[in-house]
Structure 1
Amino acid sequence: MSSLSSRTSALRADLQALLSALQVLGWRLRRRRAVIVGLAAAVSLLLIRRAKRKRDYFIRDLGLVGKGLPRQAGEGTSIVNNAPEYDVIIVGGGTAGCVLASRLSEDPTVRVLLLEAGGSGVNLPFTRIPAAYSRLFHTKHDYGLHTVPQSEAGGRSRYWPRGKMLGGCSSINAMMFQCGAPSDYDEWARLGGEEASSWSYKNLQKYFLKFEKFSPSKSFASVDSSLRGAAGPIQTGYFGNFSRFSSSFVEACKEVGIPYRPDINTASGTLGTSKSSQTPAFNVYLTVTYIDSTGSRVSTESAYLTEHVLRRPNLKVAIHATTTKVLLESVNGDTRAVGVEFAQSEHGTRFVARARKEVVLSAGAVHTPQILMLSGIGPAEQLAQHLIPVLVDLPGVGQNLIDHPVVDVNFHAKRGESINYVGKPQGVYEIVKTLGATLQYLVTRKGPLTTNVGESAAFVRSSDAALFPPVEYGQPPEDATSGPDAPDIELFATPVAYKEHGYAPLPQPSGELVALHAVLLRPTSKGSISLRSSNPFKPPVIDPRYLDTQHDVDVLVRALQLLGRLVRTNPLASVLRQSGTHPELDHRLHELSAEQLQKIVRDRVETLYHPTSTARMMPRDQGGVVDASLRVHGVPNLRVVDASIFPNIIAGHTAAPVIAVAEKAADLIRTALKA
């Protein structure tokens, strides 16, 4: 009977997976629902035997991990001594928090509590199907944040997707595995203050290798797998979809003089296009991804919070638990974190848990500074405005916000080049392809639904005279990179097109659209995170101050000029409809003046989902928030472990650096716990 029940549950889950996949593809069920359900049942019967369901070990009743506060209670510290006690409390189960919870609980004598404001992501089809992640935007699994209107970027507010679930943004990002430039971390070592030399690339590299399990591919035999991690929990490799359009992009890059490197994730650095095949008869180009051999996303939740880890008696993972503040006590001028206050909802019961040794904030570059300020740590003037008692005057909290701005340009492609039909199929031809792609994914775990979207990438310098001859382009903008081998521009290709993160209408037929993208990797514009109110359930004020400096505009203009050359270079030119004249497409990009390109930059700039540096690892008198051991200045047993500690943004994607930071932080904390 239990076997029948488990099979029924598996069938129901597989049916839901197929229906969710069809929703990803924009399929409108209506009258066809019965046919689709029948098809789902047939496919599900084939998959039941290999389906694996994770038992739910998560805690939803917060009374099991904390002590409820009476409604008339004040700060909560008066009863924290009677609350459930843990050695370490981790606030935020995102990209970094899952790593910390797993690593610290390896020691059975260390009691760990992980608090996550959202739920679990591993059983959500839209987190597991690589192409589906944007379907989680504007849902309960996303914080749904927006910036204030950007005065230098068209006066518009920008939407900022941030994952509200275990795994955080690693559960909703584009899965592009990329570590940044080695000199970025050497810069961290210079900026980080006393004892920050351990953050140099030479010293930090071991943590990139520690978390990675690279899967070699015969199609990319030139990649030296001995230089990559082999035994970590995060699987990386070439399991995602690749398109002819992305292949054409890399070949066009080589034609215009961007050097090729078979592997951009070693000590050799990032300059050059991302990869190429050594097999002349079968050229394959694909970004290394966080996609596993089953065609599923690898998030830090799926990799680090395995069933084996969740069964540990010394680890408690509470979900739907929003942290409202860190509880601090000052004795003889010594301020220490003694616990955490949290709740399920704004008007729900507040709970407290005691931290015997450490509290770690891993809530991300937006929410970590918010929680610090709500706890009385931050700029004194701002805290006073919201009637929050100032316990530690730390002006750097929430300052120096840096993000990677991106500008998207879209094109009509020839038939068969785009997989944009996976968004909203138009006509019988695309509907048939849509159903085929769905079945292909469910049966083989391959095909268009395994695209990570950003399938190919190139990294360049705006000062490269070979790409930007001074006679034609003038003198380059001021160098903002961390070193001569670090890029300040990323270009990437997607076999799909989108506007405003996929939530604005596209020109028709949308199924034939592709896109190229220009990213500013080293912005000089810096913004801030500030409190909107003292209510922890209200989002903070987000002001990235996009394009505040002319430098940032000039670098992005150069990037668009380079893209304009690429779309006129074969083989990329041959796969685009060069006769395209639709006013919302960019087939005339190469004809635009610098002034016209500036307007495009200011109108279209969006986030690439990489906010950093709002609690920087720097000396206190230089605006820093944490020291080289990631301890908050003035509160020695309170640490920050997430992208907010970056002294400066890295010239690449931020997921891998955050995981490496968390791996290193776990070692730092373990050492402190044994002292």
Structure 2
Amino acid sequence: MDLGSWKCLLIVLAGFSMFRSFCHSEKAPYYTFVHEATSAPHILYYDYIIIGGGTSGCPLAATLSQDASVLVLERGGSPYGNPKITNIANFADSLSDTSPDSASQQFISEDGVYNARARVLGGGSALNAGFYTHASADYVKKAGWNPELVDRSYAWVESKVAFEPPVLQWQSAVRDGLLEVGVLPYNGFTYDHIHGTKVGGTIFDRDGHRHTAADLLEYADPRNISVLLHATVHKILFTETGKPRAYGVIFEDALGFRHKAYLGSRSSKNEIILSAGALGSPQLLMLSGVGPANHLQAHSISVVVDQPMVGQGMADNPMNLLFIPSPLPVEVSLIQVVGITKFDSYIETASGLSFAYSWVHKFVREYELHLNETDQSSAVTPEAMSRAIETLNSLVTGTLQGGVILEKINGPLSTGELKLVTTNPHDNPSVKFNYFKEPEDLNRCVQGMKTIIDVVNSRAFSKFRYKYMPVKALIDLMLNLPVNLRPRHFSSAISLEQFCTDTVMTIWHYHGGCQVGKVVDYDYKVLGVDGLRVIDGSTFIASPGTNPQATVMMLGRYMGRRILYERLKEGTK
């Protein structure tokens, strides 16, 4: 698949037009403590070393800096001044950028599904579609979190990065369509995760400018924090006598020079914290000798702790969608409206897409076929047929605009594993998610697709779909698009089960690999060693809410507060 096709595919997933970008060039407000790793001394000492300045790492670092010295090692660059990140119209560009210094690092799972991981300060919040919503109360309870501190931590995040979106015509039509087909009640604008249809928050402000977890570093005490960019950690260092204890890291700067960062003392107060994401955190544990012994030995890695659960429980919420070409102009919108069904499939939408020329012709062929079938059945008047032919002619010489309605599976129940391919931390590990391995996930997808079809056929949505174009043609269109590397099954009566399997995509909500109760305890401390925690989405058993970024940011703040409280208690003994 060539780069052009990959970019077009990302536009389909995002559901909005590629408009001419403009440079949003504001500087980071905390530039005094953000530096390139090339400027760092050979040896550094800090109370806390955070590996990964991403969605959880930034709020965690900002919080810890209030009472301790903190070093953040981020393998990517700054999101500020990068129009591919900061401007809503460039969402697809940021995800499809394959340049060596891009903010996203492409990978393809062993399932044959295209994917990407963040490589930038702010992590996934610098690349995603912006939807902001909380985890459910049940999720918070199962995680063992304190509800009051959770609420305060969410509020701390929201004061910097969350906004109420403007809900325009396309989003309103999908919202009303969801209500019409029974995804009830209507809960209005809310961050809460509750059954029914709602409008969630967004990290894009009214000017279409993205706000990210990096903005939360504005809370940091600049006297106590250093953030190093393009700093790739190669290894966590452990003591060799007694129970292994993390005491430092080796990292490399952009020029290839090695540096070492150590904890300021061997006190139990000081720690190294992995916040490198669902791929990066289990990968770095393995590279440092914590993981399945046989796998590490096969890569000539000295085993510190035989931890067979590192890399296990990898899961990616499967996404399936329909692209709906629109006869009317549509606004540029990312995810705003969501239908939270009682069968645990979430329905979301985005709009403003302009289709590539070759795909216009695919749609035209499908449209023409079904018009001919409709004409033979005498179900359409000559006047309507004339208007339809005019539409066909205009499409051939113009562009095809529309949007997507997608469904995401809660959980999911299906899981896989992550393994090392090389011992180079710059390389992607191998990961398999086993989409739809569990029948319940596939059943949820089918129910979600049925709901999407009902919304497309609803009265509320009728003005945004072409007349006489049945949903079967939209399904055929998706089967013809290069959405993944999985085989296609073409049939005049393809089942929704087969459609889900053939056209599965990622919604970039993958998680697992360092799960609570298996790799870390409920304080996020790595089992079998001291002085090391993992605080990010790799610890999740399931993805929180309809979209996880709000909860990942909250977790950074939440655990920062918890760690400082522990530090204060130990200091008074």
Residues 580-624 of structure 1: CA deviation (Å, up to 9, x unaligned): 3798634999xx999521222112111111111211111xxxxx1
Cα RMSD (Å) = 3.0
2:196 aligned partner: 272
2:224 aligned partner: 314
Q: Distance between the aligned counterparts of 2:493 and 2:134, measured in 1?
A: 32
Residue 539 of structure 1 aligns to a residue whose secondary structure is coil
Aligned pair in 2 of structure 1 residues 667, 60: CA closer, same or farther (>3 Å)? Answer: closer
Q: Distance between the aligned counterparts of 1:415 and 1:351, measured in 2?
A: 57
Letter aligned with residue 272 of structure 1: G
1:183 aligned partner: 138
Contact 2:314–2:510, Cα closer than 8 Å, also in 1: yes
Residues 302-352 of structure 1: CA deviation (Å, up to 9, x unaligned): 2x123x747x13211100111111111132x2211111111125x822211
Q: Residues 55-454 of structure 1: matches in 2 within 5 Å? A: 56-57=31-32, 60=35, 62=37, 64-67=39-42, 83-107=43-67, 110-139=68-97, 140-150=101-111, 157-189=112-144, 199=145, 201=147, 204-213=150-159, 233-234=160-161, 236-238=162-164, 240-259=165-184, 260-266=186-192, 269-275=193-199, 287-302=200-215, 304-306=216-218, 309=220, 312-331=222-241, 333-344=242-253, 348-356=256-264, 357-416=270-329, 418-419=330-331, 448=332, 451=333, 453-454=334-335
Alignment length, in residue pairs?
498
Residue 207 of structure 1 aligns to a residue whose secondary structure is helix
Contact 1:86–1:354, Cα closer than 8 Å, also in 2: yes
Residue 520 (1) aligns with residue 481 (2)? no
Contact 1:188–1:648, Cα closer than 8 Å, also in 2: no
2:342 aligned partner: 461
Contact 1:290–1:298, Cα closer than 8 Å, also in 2: yes
Aligned pair in 2 of structure 1 residues 640, 564: CA closer, same or farther (>3 Å)? Answer: same
Contact 1:144–1:161, Cα closer than 8 Å, also in 2: yes
Q: Name stretches of at least 5 consecutive residues in structure 2 with no aligned partner.
A: 1-15, 265-269, 364-394, 479-490
1:601 aligned partner: 500
Contact 1:92–1:361, Cα closer than 8 Å, also in 2: yes
Contact 1:612–1:649, Cα closer than 8 Å, also in 2: yes
What TM-score, normalized to structure 1? 0.69
Contact 2:54–2:275, Cα closer than 8 Å, also in 1: yes
Aligned pair in 2 of structure 1 residues 132, 113: CA closer, same or farther (>3 Å)? Answer: same
Residues 206-227 of structure 1: CA deviation (Å, up to 9, x unaligned): 32233223xxxxxxxxxxxxxx
Post-superposition offset of 1:187: 2.2
The percent of aligned pairs where both chains have the same amino acid is: 26
Which of 538, 558, 562 does residue 668 from structure 1 map onto?
A: 562
Residue 244 of structure 2 aligns to a residue whose secondary structure is strand
Residue 440 of structure 2 aligns to a residue whose secondary structure is helix
What TM-score, normalized to structure 2? 0.80
Q: Distance between the aligned counterparts of 1:588 and 1:172, measured in 2?
A: 27
Post-superposition offset of 1:64: 4.5
Letter aligned with residue 613 of structure 1: G
Post-superposition offset of 1:510: 4.4
Task: Using the TM superposition, name which of 552-561 and 576-585 deviates more.
Answer: 576-585
Aligned pair in 2 of structure 1 residues 498, 334: CA closer, same or farther (>3 Å)? Answer: farther
Contact 1:522–1:651, Cα closer than 8 Å, also in 2: no
Q: Distance between the aligned counterparts of 2:565 and 2:30, measured in 1?
A: 32
Letter aligned with residue 134 of structure 2: C
Letter aligned with residue 284 of structure 2: I
Post-superposition offset of 1:291: 2.4
2:376 aligned partner: none
Aligned pair in 2 of structure 1 residues 94, 555: CA closer, same or farther (>3 Å)? Answer: same
Letter aligned with residue 273 of structure 2: V
Contact 1:580–1:587, Cα closer than 8 Å, also in 2: no
Q: Distance between the aligned counterparts of 1:54 and 1:24, measured in 2?
A: 30
Aligned pair in 2 of structure 1 residues 523, 342: CA closer, same or farther (>3 Å)? Answer: same
2:345 aligned partner: 489
Contact 2:173–2:460, Cα closer than 8 Å, also in 1: yes
Q: Distance between the aligned counterparts of 1:265 and 1:583, measured in 2?
A: 35
Post-superposition offset of 1:63: 5.7
Q: Distance between the aligned counterparts of 1:517 and 1:636, measured in 2?
A: 43
1:578 aligned partner: 467
Contact 1:325–1:374, Cα closer than 8 Å, also in 2: yes
Aligned pair in 2 of structure 1 residues 376, 490: CA closer, same or farther (>3 Å)? Answer: same
Aligned pair in 2 of structure 1 residues 241, 251: CA closer, same or farther (>3 Å)? Answer: same
Contact 1:335–1:635, Cα closer than 8 Å, also in 2: yes
Aligned pair in 2 of structure 1 residues 376, 493: CA closer, same or farther (>3 Å)? Answer: same
Q: Distance between the aligned counterparts of 2:136 and 2:408, measured in 1?
A: 15
Q: Residues 8-47 of structure 1: matches in 2 within 5 Å? A: 25=18
2:377 aligned partner: none
2:534 aligned partner: 640
Aligned pair in 2 of structure 1 residues 645, 603: CA closer, same or farther (>3 Å)? Answer: same
Aligned pair in 2 of structure 1 residues 523, 627: CA closer, same or farther (>3 Å)? Answer: same
Letter aligned with residue 139 of structure 2: D
Q: Distance between the aligned counterparts of 1:208 and 1:52, measured in 2?
A: 25
Post-superposition offset of 1:248: 0.9
Letter aligned with residue 294 of structure 2: E
Q: Distance between the aligned counterparts of 1:632 and 1:639, measured in 2?
A: 5
Letter aligned with residue 489 of structure 1: S
Q: Name stretches of at least 5 consecutive residues in structure 1 with no aligned partner.
A: 1-22, 29-39, 68-82, 151-156, 190-198, 214-232, 276-286, 420-447, 463-487, 619-623
